[in-house]
């Protein structure tokens, strides 16, 4: 029995920790709604108090006197409103800390990966590195062939292509993708950044969950893709898209 209680407590703690920003934001919105309802309900009583006070003094009340007369009626509404604001701010603060931690971890991983790749090219040469990368992509296709995944049909072409980030197979055309990259890079030079989802939409794919959190910034460089040729089932050529300069979090900064 004690073990069951402990498991329930631990599960609850993990749930609250994982979803604390959403919970706090939800509580904040509920409190703000409650605050509005309480304020509306308190208004008739407040108007009566003002009317009675004006009758007693036989004069119109000043703004200060109105506040002194009615503040107690609005105290519950104000309390809920302030607590709602605090909940929302706390939720945003936790989300910001998590985003900052994720961005930091991503940056460290990216630097390590790029350094490793540069050292591999420096040691064995660019051509041999490309061969190794193609073999890795071929292994991924063998493990997750197109027949077990939905192949997305776009209106851009009929070449089988695999995206290395989302893992999706789709049919398109390499010239079209290169054209999209050139157009988006021109956009980056003018508006400073482009999201991963904007790239996906431009090549005919649906957005992905974190595609608006990742992207390219002019300060980090333009979009650069590598195209490796592999074989899918029935020896059909499959082009694997690799990202020489992968999308990053916090890409939408303008300074």
Q: Both 133 and 69 in a single domain?
A: no
Q: How many CB atoms lie within 10 A of CB 215?
A: 22
Please tell me the pTM assigned to this model: 0.57
Q: Are 151 and 171 in contact (CB under 8 A)?
A: yes
Confidence (pLDDT) at 17: 62
Diameter of the chain measured on Cα atoms: 96
Confidence (pLDDT) at 8: 61
pLDDT (tens place) for every residue of the chain, 255 residues total: 556 666 666 666 666 666 777 777 888 888 888 888 888 888 888 888 888 888 887 778 788 888 788 888 888 888 888 888 887 888 777 776 666 655 555 555 555 556 656 666 677 787 777 787 788 888 888 888 887 778 999 988 899 999 988 989 999 999 999 999 999 999 999 889 999 999 999 999 999 988 888 899 998 889 999 898 899 988 899 999 988 888 888 787 655
Question: Structure tokens of 245?
Answer: 């300069």
Q: How many CB atoms lie within 10 A of CB 136?
A: 14
* 142 assigned to some structural domain: yes
Query: Which domain range does residue 47 map to?
Result: 2-101
DSSP 7-35: HHHHHHHHHHHHTHHHHHHHHHHHHHHHH
* 111 assigned to some structural domain: no
Q: Both 145 and 75 in a single domain?
A: no
* 140 assigned to some structural domain: yes
* 114 assigned to some structural domain: no
* 222 assigned to some structural domain: yes
Q: Are 81 and 32 in contact (CB under 8 A)?
A: yes
* 244 assigned to some structural domain: yes
Number of structural domains in the chain: 2
Confidence (pLDDT) at 176: 93
């Amino acid at each position: 029995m004690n073990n069951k209680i402990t498991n329930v407590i631990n599960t609850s703690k993990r749930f609250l920790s994982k979803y604390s920003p959403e919970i706090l934001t939800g509580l904040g919105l509920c409190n703000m709604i409650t605050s509005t309802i309480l304020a509306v309900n308190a208004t008739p009583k407040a108007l009566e108090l003002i009317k009675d006070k004006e009758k007693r003094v036989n004069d119109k009340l000043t703004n200060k006197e109105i506040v002194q007369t009615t503040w107690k009626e609005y105290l519950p509404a104000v309390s809920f409103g302030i607590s709602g604001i605090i909940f929302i701010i706390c939720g945003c603060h936790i989300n910001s800390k998590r985003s900052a931690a994720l961005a930091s971890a991503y940056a460290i991983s990216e630097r390590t990966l790029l350094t490793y790749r540069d050292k591999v090219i420096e040691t064995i040469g660019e051509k041999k590195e490309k061969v190794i990368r193609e073999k890795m992509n071929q292994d991924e296709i063998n493990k997750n062939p197109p027949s077990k995944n939905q192949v997305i049909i776009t209106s851009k072409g009929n070449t089988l292509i695999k995206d290395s980030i989302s893992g999706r197979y789709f049919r398109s055309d390499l010239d079209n993708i290169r054209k999209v990259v050139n157009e988006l890079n021109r956009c980056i030079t003018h508006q400073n950044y482009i999201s991963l989802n904007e790239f996906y939409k431009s090549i005919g794919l649906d957005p992905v969950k974190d595609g608006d959190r990742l992207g390219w910034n002019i300060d980090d460089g333009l979009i650069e893709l590598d195209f490796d040729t592999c074989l899918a089932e029935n020896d059909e050529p499959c082009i694997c898209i690799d990202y020489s300069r992968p999308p990053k979090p916090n890409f939408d900064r303008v300074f």
